[in-house]
Structure 1
Amino acid sequence: MTNSRIPGFYNLTLEERRAKLAEASNRTPEDLLPWTTGGISAESADHMIENVVGLHSLPLGIGLNFMVNGRDVLIPFAVEEPSVVAGASFMAKLARAGGGFTATTTEPLMIGQMQLINVVNMNEARLKIYEHKAELLAIADAIDPVLKKFGGGARDLEVRTIEESAIGPFLVLHLIYDVRDAMGANAVNTACEKLAPQIEAITGGKVHLRILSNLADRRIARVRCTIPVSELTVGFESFKGETVRDGIIAAYAFAASDPYRAATHNKGIMNGVDSVVIATGNDWRAIEAGAHAYAARNGKYTSLSTWGKDKDGNLVGTLEMPMAVGIVGGATKVHPAAQAAVKLMGIKTANELAEIIVSVGLAQNMAALRALATEGIQRGHMSLHARQVAIAAGASGELIEKVAAQMVAEKVVRSDRAEEILKAMESGK
């Protein structure tokens, strides 16, 4: 059984961390080998995208302490920003005291859109489409026999009218498609292409665009956690638990009310979400687009998460957002590093992956809010950022930590100061 609690993991060498990780996840060291090389060669990459000239790497870290739906899970993060892995892991540790993260997902329903233009009578065309709904769904359902075998396929067809646009009124058809463990873009786009001629014949109009929507509001992941108020002071012993709790709730209220704050608030959530999406070979751009569109679904951009307290005064957080991720097809299946990530987490379905990712998003959100509500975001973040600045200034080996520590102590984390400190240390002054 996986154990996501690995005390002292940060202090181990890279080789020791991989050995501990294999032991904690009941995997072999060979299972983790793709992470030591980046997973693919330039030759492999040449078959994935166009005009390949090489590879670009991101650091891969492991999120610790996560318990999702009663199961310990070790979570890979592909991210370059300091404090993301550490912050989410620490918040996951606090959440364990309240039972960890409880997550659910809806059915994996994606939306394919078809834009119907040059329609003479909108209402007549709309009703004609509904009259042929059964046969249209049957056509779409027969397109992918493999997906149908696993319980997926066409589920519904909806029609709505866009009354005002730059080209005047037109109809929009939504094909609701169950994609099971796939992200679904290829299946949905293929189905829309297949239906276009039939819809044109039925209505006399022209199907212009036919493409998946990344506002996957039929495919939602939800998560909640409860943090005992006593846990909120861990590391911040000079604060009262109630003070930290109320500070987090007040910070959330700011994001819920003001889109300028909400943009940064939600970016913090996506720091965690994107890291796992990238590590598993999924489309982080689609997830980002869906998340921000969902945050504005009621006409005003607002927070994706909520924070409050329960009857006992404990902190309660929730997060819900579209989560169109897959574990079959695409880069997830052809990229060895993505395969290793899925294997490490012990994931069997796309819904499980979505539940883990949304839990990471909530943990990362809590880490940012807790820092803002207490010491401010810069102290912890800049401590980690200082190491990058030290490396950029030319520090290596033990000097990285020494230069970083002095900059943090001085509260001046800048490249010019790093160069001065490094020069002094190297000269023995």
Structure 2
Amino acid sequence: MSEKFYQLSPEKRLEKMTTDESLQRFFLARQSSEMPDLIENYVADFKLPEGVLPDLTVNEKHYRVPMVVEEPSVVAAAANGARMVALGGGFQEEGQSQALVGGQLLFLDADLDALGEYIEANEAAIFETAALAKPSLVARGDGLKKVDFRIIDQRHSVLELSVQSGKAMGANAVNTILEAVKDVMAPFSEKLVGAILTNAGHGAEVSVSAQLPVEIVGGIKAAERIVSLSEFGKVDSDRAVTENKGIFNGLSAVLLATGNDYRAVEAAGHAFASQSGHYQSLSSWQLSADQKFLQGRLTLPLNIGILGGAIGALPMAQKNLELMGNPTVAELKAIMLSVGLANNLAALKAVSGKGIQEGHMRMQARALAIQVGASGSEVNRVADRLAKEKTIDEKTATRILGEERQHDA
């Protein structure tokens, strides 16, 4: 009996997919011993560049922050925003973050009164079952903390569990607890559609703030333009989408570098941005009452971890946490949000000032220089000349590289 595709070795998968030897050699050269068991049907590692934000000040502590991202200007923008905020004292975390992950048992067409009464009468059994399902969580002081019954409409209702996950993101723990609690809800099993965690992050909201003298951004007029642009993100959803994308440019780059689930965080963030019924920017900027300071704030749900899952399986994620000084979960949350707000500030300053295109074109020129074969000192030389050209494209970059090499010969 022949092996199924997922049962094949990475090498045999490549053989099965293509007879092009050069393509096979390309993928074979990019295989590693670390990644094959992380995903199904592995064939190779897809690499992204990692940069470092060299100095981020959060709660008066300084951090080096690794960022994994393919967009040229993201790390530069984060560094610029972090530098400006540092001149005003750095970022501050507001309140105490919670490591809460939600789980849902979803019921369809259940007798709502009977279901509600049953849950209330069996709440102790639900907590006991959850504790037995994950005793290690309880031993650390974590585990199930809250049970709620929510009626969505006459047909749909939800039993919601809030689990304190500790140092791990907690997805597997929550799903394990939900499977166990299904037994407690056996009398309503025919009405139970499914049991699964939710990435919404209710109760796991985190906030960071920044305050900097208006002179740092170019004076009161420049600060007023930043505030006005920020206001557009509150009233126009199209502007809000772009602004939030800029926030996640930085935040998701740190999520990736630390092995966390950037997709879950982004989904929760976009849902949180829509909680008023109108999609809005996650950040806000305003002037202080005396108009001497520009004040910013960013809030969103953040379920992350510093161990378990991909973090434990990816050596780079572990080393990146070490590079950051092995922050606690709460510290890492504040760091991530601060990077997001730093990117947001840099983008708002650029868009409300000279415009964002100039900086993007400089970084695009570097990418094009590398794309056409420039290396070493050639990259900056080609990029510098390319950025001054009317047409910035591969043909122009190729011509400039040829001229530079002819000059060096």
TM-score scaled by length of structure 1: 0.84
Matched, 1:53 2:39: no
Could you tell me how far apart the structure 2 residues matched to 1:381 and 1:278 are? 22
TM-score (norm 2): 0.88
Letter in 1 for 2:169: M
2:61 pairs with 44, 67, 71, which one?
71
Deviations 1:249-278 (A, max 9, x none): 111111111111111100000000001000
Which secondary structure state, in structure 1, belongs to the residue aligned with residue 173 of structure 2? Answer: helix
SS in 2 for 1:74: strand
Deviation at 1:407, TM superposition (A): 2.0
Partner of 2:91: 101
Aligned position for 1:172: 158
2:229 aligns to what? 251
> 1:10-409 to 2 correspondence within 5 Å?
42-104=32-94, 105-119=96-110, 121-163=111-153, 169-201=155-187, 203=188, 205-233=190-218, 241-313=219-291, 314-409=293-388
Which letter does structure 1 place at the counterpart of 2:395? D
Distance across 1 between alignment mates of 2:152 and 2:81: 45
Q: In the aligned structure 1, how far is the partner of 2:360 from the partner of 2:81?
A: 15
Instruction: Give the C-alpha shift of residue 418 in structure 1.
Output: 1.4
Contact 2:147–2:159 (CA under 8 A) maintained in structure 1? yes
How many residues are paired up?
Answer: 377
Residue 335 of structure 1 deviates from its aligned partner by 1.3
3-state SS of 1:410 partner:
coil
Contact 1:42 1:53 survives alignment (8 Å): no
Identity, % of aligned positions: 37
Q: Give 1:378's aligned amino acid.
A: Q
8 A Cα contact 1:66 1:74, kept in partner: yes
- After superposition, the C-alpha distances for 1:363-387 in whole angstroms (9 at most, x for unaligned) are 0110111110111011112111210
The alpha-carbon deviation at position 411 of structure 1 amounts to 4.4
Matched letter for residue 111 of structure 1: G
The whole-number CA distance in structure 1 between the counterparts of 2:226 and 2:260 is 31
What is the rounded CA distance, in whole Å, between the counterparts of 2:403 and 2:97 in structure 1?
59
Amino acid at match of 1:335: L
| Cα distance in 2 for residues equivalent to 1:124 and 1:328 | 41
Shift of 1:281: 0.5
Query: Deviation digits for residues 152-201 of structure 1, max 9, x if unmatched?
Result: 0111111112326xxxx122111111111110100101111111121132
Q: Which runs of 5+ in 1 are unaligned?
A: 1-39, 234-240
**Which amino acid counterpart does residue 261 of structure 1 have in structure 2?**
R
Q: 1:348 & 1:403 partners in 2: Cα distance? A: 40
**Distance across 1 between alignment mates of 2:69 and 2:390:** 25
Partner residue, 2:16: none
Q: Distance in 1 between matches of 2:189 and 2:353?
A: 63
1:414 Cα shift? 1.6
